[in-house]
Chains A and B, each alone.
Chain A
């Protein structure tokens, strides 16, 4: 199982760009990298997914270097409402063969006024 490591917490201010890096040194060839966001007392919400290079959607960008051993979630111009826990997920094929998203501790992002 690919293990991920990400900072426990980060602080930022409104209007700044936030970059959260995740390490996944033993990522498998067919593993995708997926990021979820969780607000307090709510279920996780899918943000973005990528395999290599760069992916961008209306919410965030995901940068993946050529070796794929890390990835960086970039949130442009954060606002107070971006305060949440951000999870990086990789791989995790269960014994029965299906892919089960497995959450680590995540990164708690606090955006200050």
Chain B
């Protein structure tokens, strides 16, 4: 069964450092998403991406965040200057369409710890 893969599985960084989280979506999917989940809290939408541009973003996704699909397969989330409150599990997801019948396929997540 095709799956979304994410790297790294766990990253520890110092506050103020830049972090890049990588994702390989399912190959024939067109829509890509990043969500995050702070420990013990709900899964929160960050951003969606289609046709090489952001299609939706939440208020969490401020100027310190950026996304990119540099080579047609990888989908990355960059956090420019990490803060302690960025510590969370970050999930990448992809889907075939963006209709309300579209199933999202999630990766296993990247755990980010900011010290």
Contacts and interface: CB of A to CB of B under 8 A. Distances in A.
Interface stretch (B12-20, B71-79, B105-113): B105-113
A105 B44 CA distance: 10
Interface size range on A against B? 20 to 34
Given A98-B48, A104-B42, A46 B105 contact: yes
A76 to B, nearest CB: 21
A30 interface: yes
Interface size range on B against A? 20 to 34
Contact of A31 (B33, B91, B100): B100
Interface in A19-62: 30-32, 34, 38, 41-46, 49
Contact of A49 (B56, B89, B103): B103
B101 interface: yes
Given A46-B103, A46-B105, A93-B100, A98 B55 contact: yes
A95 B42 CA distance: 21
Contacts, number: 61
A106 B42 contact: yes
Contact of A99 (B43, B98, B111): B98
B56 A95 contact: yes
Contact of B104 (A42, A46, A93, A96): A46
Given A96-B56, A106-B42, A43 B93 contact: yes
Ranked nearest first, the 8 interchain pairs of A and B with the lowest CB-CB distance are A43-B106, A98-B98, A103-B43, A99-B100, A94-B56, A46-B103, A43-B91, A96-B56
